[in-house]
Amino acid sequence: MKFYVCEIEHEKGTVNIAIQKSEVMGISTKFYPGPNPEEIFGFSKYGEYLYPVVTHSKLVKPVLKYFLILPKYAFGVTRIIEEVDAEIIPITASVETTVNSKFEAIKEYTGIIQTSNEIYYVYNIYSVEIPVNAKVVSSERTSEKNESPEEIDNYLIIGEKYAVKKEAVKTILQSDLVTPYKFHGADGFVDYKKILPVKALDDGRFVVILENEAYRTGKIRLSPGKVLLHESTGKHLLETESGTYELIE
């Protein structure tokens, strides 16, 4: 199963949650405040419609920047870390029948998934609430003239997993030039001025050539973004409107 793993910053810390990708119609950064923030906090625009903004329950002053669009509402999060394939470890169904009030919060989750670095709680999308005193951080461009360098399409997103500075890309070749041969974590090699190992992200028809390695994929696009440092791993990440990607340096 595919999930979006996300973080929500709030007054008392950060919560890690996961939303099943099949439930999500799209992602937006467009926010419009409601007429009465306590009753109708606001809306996120996606396509031709406005979706009321909700988020994880009982969070005070959550910071919202991205909105995952579901059929009936927009779920606000601070950042989308990445899209992952994972198997959910479900919470026992007996929790649903308990009357002990201490178990109420458990019903907000249907289980957990685990990545290589973190545990994320799969959120029950029926337990959402209107945010309280939320802060919305807009990432929309207000003017082409006011763009900062990091807002320009300076990065290439590779296979919806990695990002690299546009100028670091030597060239993009057709995948039929790759010689399949698994060795030391690579899936083949290509000869472009020198022999380079190729990592296959999917069965796409392109090979993105970098200085010392290459990546095969059918999904490449340019994107603006902001470089962040992941404190626990020491890796640099590129935060974009569509998600967060590991930065190849």
Q: Looking at 50-54, 71-75, 168-172, 222-226, which range is the least confident one?
A: 222-226
**What is the mean predicted confidence (pLDDT) over 53-60?**
91
Looking at the fold, whether 25 and 70 belong to one and the same domain comes out as: yes
User: What's the DSSP call for residue 170?
Assistant: -
Q: Strand 162-165: give its sheet, edge to edge.
A: 220-223, 155-158, 162-165, 243-247, 236-240, 226-229
The three-point CA angle 137-61-132 to 5° equals 105
Give start and end residues of each alpha helix (H) in 173-247: none
Looking at the fold, whether 81 and 159 belong to one and the same domain comes out as: no
Domain end residue (candidates: 81, 112, 136) = 136
CA distance 18 to 109: 9
CA distance 64 to 129: 14
Joined tokens for residue 131: 């945010």
Cβ atoms 3, 18 nearer than 8 A: yes
Give start and end residues of each alpha helix (H) in 133-218: none
List the domain range (segments joined by +) for residue 233: 144-247
CA distance 53 to 50: 9
The radius of gyration of the chain's CA atoms, rounded to the nearest angstrom, is: 21
* Residue 140 banded pLDDT, cuts 50, 70, 90: very low
CA distance 187 to 198: 6
Looking at the fold, whether 24 and 63 belong to one and the same domain comes out as: yes
- Tens digits of per-residue pLDDT, 192-238? 999 999 999 999 999 999 999 999 999 888 888 888 876 556 778 88
The model carries a pTM of: 0.58
Looking at the fold, whether 34 and 80 belong to one and the same domain comes out as: yes
**Phi, psi at residue 166, to the nearest 5°?**
-55, -40
| Mean pLDDT for all residues in the chain | 84
Looking at the fold, whether 123 and 165 belong to one and the same domain comes out as: no
* Residue 70 banded pLDDT, cuts 50, 70, 90: very high
- Tens digits of per-residue pLDDT, 173-196? 999 999 998 888 899 999 999 999
Cβ atoms 17, 6 nearer than 8 A: yes
pLDDT beyond 70 at 169: yes
